[in-house]
Amino acid sequence: MIKNLPEGTSIGEMRASLQWVLSHTARFAGLVLVTIQGSRGFILINMGKPLAYYFRHGQNVLNGHAAYEYFHSQPFIQFELRKYTALEMTLALGLASATEVTAVQPSPGKQTNGTVQELSGPSAEPSPAETTPDSSNPQIPLSAEEDGLSANEMELNEYSTFANDTIPYIGLSQNFTLSEDDENDLSLFPHVPLRTIGKLLDSKKTDVGDLILGQIINLPGVLAVTIFGRGINVLSIGEINPENLVDVAEDLINSSKGLSSVMRTGPFIQVTLQIPAGNIIIAPYYDEYLCILTSPGINLGQIRKIIRELPGIETPGEAGAVF
Amino acid sequence: MFEDILNKFLIIDGVSSVTIIRDNGEVVESQKTGDFDDGQLAAVISFVLEESKSMASKLGKEPLSMVFIEFRDHILLSAPLKEHIFIVLIAKPSANIAQINLELKKNRERLLMIL
Phi, psi of A76 (to 5 degrees): -140, 145
Provide the chain A residues 239-258 that lie in CB contact (below 8 A) with chain B.
244-245, 248-249, 251-252, 255-256, 258
Q: What is the DSSP string of B33-97?
A: SSSS-HHHHHHHHHHHHHHHHHHHHHHHS----EEEEEESS-EEEEEEEETTEEEEEEE-TTSBH
Q: Closest partner residue to B62 among A251, A261, A275, by Cβ?
A: A275
Q: Using the beta-carbon criterion (under 8 Å), do A271 and B94 form an inter-chain contact? A: no
Residues of B in contact with A323 (CB under 8 A): 97-98
Domain boundaries, chain A: 2-154, 216-323
Query: What residues 19-58 of chain B have any CB closer than 8 A to a CB of chain A?
Result: 34, 36-37, 40-41, 44-45, 47-48, 50-52, 54-56, 58
Peptide bond into A190 cis (omega under 30): yes
**Residue ranges covered by each domain of chain B:** 2-114
DSSP E strands in A173-247: the ranges are 222-229, 232-238
Q: Which residues on adjacent β-strands are paired with residue A292?
A: A225, A281
- pLDDT tens, residue by residue, A201-253: 343 444 555 566 666 777 778 888 888 887 777 777 776 676 677 888 888 89
pLDDT at A115: 27
HEC-encoded secondary structure of A28-50: CEEEEEEEECCEEEEEEEECCEE
Query: Would you state the pLDDT for residue A144?
Result: 30
For residue B78, give the chain A residue with the closest CA: A273
Chain A residues with beta carbon closer than 8 angstroms to that of B97: 321-323
Distance between CA atoms of B66 and B110, rounded to whole angstroms? 19
Q: What's the mean pLDDT in A297-304?
A: 74
Its CATH class, for the domain covering B2-114, is: alpha beta
Distance, CA of A42 to CA of A99 (rounded, Å): 14
Sign (positive or negative) of CA dihedral A306, A307, A309, A315: negative
From the candidate CATH numbers 3.40.50.300, 1.20.1070.10, 3.40.50.720, 3.30.450.30, the one assigned to the domain spanning A216-323: 3.30.450.30
Does the beta-carbon distance from A317 to B90 stay under 8 Å? no
What is the per-residue pLDDT across A87-134, written as a single tens digit (0 to 9) for each?
777 777 767 665 544 444 443 333 323 222 333 333 333 333 333 333
Predicted interface score ipTM higher than 0.90? yes
Helix (H) or strand (E) holding A196: helix A194-200
pLDDT at A176 over 80: no
